[in-house]
Amino acid sequence: MSGGPDSVLLLHAMHDLSQRRELDWTIHAAHLHHGIRGEAADADAELVARLAEQLGVRYHEERVDIPAQIARKGGSTEETARQRRYEFLERVALKTTSDCVGVGHHADDNAETILHRICRGTGLRGLAGMGDIRPIQPTSRVRLVRPLLGQRRKTIEALCAECGFETRTDESNASNEHTRSRIRNRVLPMLREALNPNVSEALLRLAEQARWLGMYLEDAAARTFDSMIISESPGQIVLNTHALLGKQRIIQAEVVRRAISLVLGRDQDLGFNHVEGVLRLAAGKASGKELHLPGPLLVRKQYDRLVFRPLTESEPPPELEPLFVRCPGTTPLPALSAELVVEVCEVDADRFEKVRHNLRPNEEWLDYERVRLPLLVRGRREGDRFSPLGAPGAKTLSDFFIDEKVEPQLRSRTGVLCDQEGPVWIIPLRIDERVKLRPTTRKALRLVLRPVQLRGARNA
């Protein structure tokens, strides 16, 4: 709560609704003092605290020094204050075991946001404006909800006046120092006078249609995404550039956004130029070129592959110390940011036919009788040899990596699953011919590598 008409009306409405309909909500009021506006900000906090006390609502307040933070770390006042505010609201929600954080954004806020994004060169996602519900932070269980998003500012202010609610006015809103204020005080009035008196309504209609189209494109990209994956391992996704470039440009862009969000485990705010840069990289003929994106994320073109992974060049490769595998059971593999699940399964003729055509990523089946336990996972060693499934004869692991076009810097990050006779699975690329299932197999080991970071993102 800022103490402005929108948040004051929202608190009264939620409190009244809860009591009249016996919803048994537990409502909390939270106010972050930004340390920016001196006595005026103190008066805002006093009003919110007094209103919460009058309604019998628990009150939470914190104070931060935004100007000092900007002096130390840089950044804009608007963006820094917004980040600290949402961090504070999430902390309060988690501390109070609350499911939702309600904020007072309204239709005029949304129109200003859309116009701002248009001027910055937004894509379809930006045109859609604010959503009425979303996670408050990318990986948070707490939802941010905007119950007033369909209401106009003048309606909210009129209701507060009619009900006699005491509210505060942020005098900095009248200043044109910040971008949002300039859009509200200068740009939108000019557009109403010179072009369209109903420009805010037009922007909101545009946003609604952009949301419809965005939902369709996300669904289309999700349906085609799996067909483009060459490999998916902890912290990395590799796409087939030929399959990607064969799609419509807008689907290409959505697939790129999806790959990035899965690798990072969160949605990343990317501009049009970022996505275009990735697509130009994919279409280029040269191999080995790369692009660094916010996140931070690295995208590399490697032959006919497009590799997405977090940018951690400064970090040394993890040491893959030998680690014995529970068989059956689940074995954490911290160096690979994953866990390995091993099951012992009975196999009959019907199951053999289904399993041998297994196309699930990160899953393999081994003939139990041909594996010499125990199993262990370790890093690659000089001179390692194995017989890749489906390939003629044995080859060194180095030659296998070259054939599979695995980047040199990733080879030291590849796990090798071994039994007493040597490698049985180069994780997650290929198993050894020696341990493959055969028509005579009656007992098998099912191996599933669960990427800890990506699995949560995919399910979400």
Query: What residues contact residue 178 under an 8 Å CB cut-off, 6+ apart?
Result: 77, 78, 172
Which domains are assigned to the chain? 5-197 (3.40.50.620), 211-310 (1.20.59.20), 323-459 (3.50.40.10)
pLDDT(244) > 90: yes
pLDDT confidence of residue 285: 84
pLDDT, one tens digit per residue, over 323-345 is: 999 999 999 988 777 889 999 99
**Tokens representing residue 313 in the block:** 């060049």
Backbone angles phi, psi at 198, to 5 degrees: -110, 40
Q: How far is CA 424 from the centre of its chain?
A: 34
Query: Average pLDDT, stretch 125-148?
Result: 88
- Provide the 3-class DSSP secondary structure of residue 58: strand
pLDDT confidence of residue 452: 66
Backbone angles phi, psi at 396, to 5 degrees: -70, 155
pLDDT(421) > 70: yes
The chain-wide mean pLDDT, for the chain, equals: 87
Closest among 76, 63, 49 to 168, alpha carbons compared: 49
| 125-129, 207-211, 237-241: the lowest-pLDDT one | 125-129
Query: What residues contact residue 130 under an 8 Å CB cut-off, 6+ apart?
Result: 105, 109, 110, 113, 146, 149
Q: What does the alpha-carbon distance between residue 144 and residue 211 come to, in Å, rounded to a whole number?
A: 18
Q: Give one DSSP letter per residue of 228-251, joined into a string.
A: GEEEEETTEEEEEHHHHHTS-HHH
pLDDT confidence of residue 399: 83
pLDDT, one tens digit per residue, over 246-265 is: 999 999 999 998 898 888 87
Q: Which residue has the higher pLDDT, 94 or 352?
A: 94
